[in-house]
Amino acid sequence: MNKTSLAGRVAAAATGLLTVAALTLPASAAGEVNIYSYRQPELIEPLLDAFTEKTGIKTNVIFADKGLAQRMQAEGENSPADILMTVDIGRLDGAKALGVTQAVDSEIINANIPAEFRDPEGHWFGLTTRARVVFASKERVTQDAITYEELADPKWKGRICTRSGQHPYNIGLFASVVAHKGEKAAEEWLAGLRDNLARKPAGNDRGQVQGIYSGECDIGLGNTYYMGKMQTNEKEPEQKEWANSAKILFPTSAEGGTHVNISGVVMAKYAPNHDEALKLMEYLSSAEAQQIYAKSNFEYPVKPGVEASELVRSWGSFTPDDLPLSEISAHRKTASELVDKVGYDDGPAS
């Protein structure tokens, strides 16, 4: 698999938008797929290697943690991108809103991926899911069940840690609360959650588990796969200690199950290698690919009947919220406005 040729031609990928002139990769190369990825190359390498072995189609990847959809927009018809791989419904819908995607109508994809994990107009579909859960201290939290509503209960005052309320992962959760309960109730809930914070929101999801380990807080919000990353981290063994101090609680709500978000994929509007890209997308929806991808990222397959890895299954089972992600995504702007309105990132008000 040629994962360096494209990346080498766009060495500035992680630092900002590239001009069209900076891209020297031929717009179309037979038997290849050009991938723009928000996921680090090593996370998708096993998946792409299996695809190349199966089909003979090579893959070229560039990675950046932001700005890829905007780059595709700037490149326009000259973009070499065939597909965009990303995380979070917000980024998937955001790419569609920028006009850099095209609809895909594939019987294979539609058969493999449940409708709640597909754009109604066919512009994106999910590859894996991750649950937005509560990490809880094994020593200081005795309960083994919790609701999202309970996070605003004063009994947790000074005991909760989260990352910024404006982070896409939290906005997704907050948008689901708006979708289920309405704007007014969501604002009241968010204010209650804010006042239960142990500190101003900071760090990433792993940092919330570190806060539990240090005793700074008793519970924190995070995505499930971070537990897997910490439990298997050989380079930073202290993260194993953080993980060992916490357990996963799968919250529910009065209206539904546990909030889940997705990693997903879109077809670029001007994909120069359309047929090869479609073959890759169809492969990504297959049971084989779902299992490889979910295992390497400690996530849950979206294709029914495909099991998560043994480690992921060890965390317990849960019932995902069945509200379509496209409906939740429609409330992201309101959720973001509420975060600012209640001063969530300023920390507790009292």
Q: Which residues are annotated as a binding site?
A: 225-226
Q: Write the single-letter amino acid at 189.
A: W
Nearest to 319 by CA among 237, 239, 251, 232: 251
Residue 253, CA distances (Å) to 131, 205, 258 in order: 14, 21, 7
Distance CA 208, CA 212 (A): 6
Q: Show Cβ contacts of residue 307 under 8 Å, excluding neighbours closer than 6 positions.
A: 291, 301, 313
* CA dist 328 → 116, 225, 331, 338 (Å): 11, 21, 6, 15
Closest-CA residue to 210 (of 225, 192, 224, 222): 222
* Planar angle of CA 13, 19, 22, nearest 5 degrees: 70
Question: Residue positions in the annotated binding site for Fe cation?
Answer: 225-226
SS3 content of the chain, % helix, strand, coil (to 5): 45, 15, 40
Q: Where are the alpha helices (DSSP H) in the chain?
A: 5-9, 41-55, 68-75, 89-97, 107-112, 168-181, 183-195, 205-214, 224-231, 238-244, 274-284, 287-297, 310-313, 325-329, 332-341
CA atoms of 9 and 306, how far apart (whole Å): 37
Characterize the bridge pairing of strands 219-223 and 160-161. parallel
Neighbours of 238 (CB within 10 A): 11
Q: Which residues of 16-46 are buried (b: 16+ CB within 10 A; e: fewer)?
A: ebbeeeebebeeebeebbbbbbbbebeebee
Residue 304, SS3? coil
